[in-house]
Structure 1
Amino acid sequence: MRSLIAALLFLPAFAIAQVTLTTEAFKIAVVNNADGTVSEQWIAAEEIVPGDKVGYRISYENTGAQPATGVVINNPVPDNTQYVANSAAGAGSDITYSADGGDNFAASADLVVNKNGKTRKARAEDITDIRWTLPEAVAPKASGSVEFQVRVK
Structure 2
Amino acid sequence: MVQFSPVPAFLLAAVIALPIQPAMAETSVSIEVVREVETEEGERELQPVETAVPGEPLIYRIELENTDPVPATSIGLSLPLDESLAIDPETVSSETDIGVVFSADGGENFAEFSELSVEEGGTERQAQPTDLTHMRIEIEEIAAESTIAVEYDAVVR
Q: What is aligned with 2:19? A: 8
Q: What is aligned with 1:64? A: 68
Gaps of 5+ in 2: 1-8
Spell out structure 1 runs of 4+ moving beyond 6 A: none
1:47 Cα deviation (Å)? 3.6
Q: What TM-score comes out, normalization by structure 1 length?
A: 0.79
1:40 Cα deviation (Å)? 7.4
Gaps of 5+ in 1: none
Q: What is aligned with 1:23? A: 31
Cα deviation code 1:79-126 (max 9, x no counterpart)? 211112412112310111111122211111111111222111111111
Q: What TM-score comes out, normalization by structure 2 length?
A: 0.77
Asked if the contact 1:57–1:147 (Cα under 8 Å) also holds between the matched residues in 2, the reply is: yes
| Amino acid in the other structure paired with 1:148 | Y
Greater helix share, structure number: 2
Q: 1:109 aligns with which of 114, 124, 145?
A: 114
Asked if the contact 1:8–1:74 (Cα under 8 Å) also holds between the matched residues in 2, the reply is: no
1:67 Cα deviation (Å)? 2.3
1: CA distance between counterparts of 2:142 and 2:78?
A: 17
Q: What is aligned with 2:135? A: 130
102-111 or 78-87, which deviates more:
78-87
| Amino acid in the other structure paired with 1:141 | E
Percent identity between the two aligned chains: 27
Count of residues in correspondence between the two structures: 144
Asked if the contact 1:59–1:145 (Cα under 8 Å) also holds between the matched residues in 2, the reply is: yes
Indicate the RMSD between aligned Cα atoms, in angstroms.
2.7
1: CA distance between counterparts of 2:89 and 2:65?
A: 27
2: CA distance between counterparts of 1:44 and 1:9?
A: 25
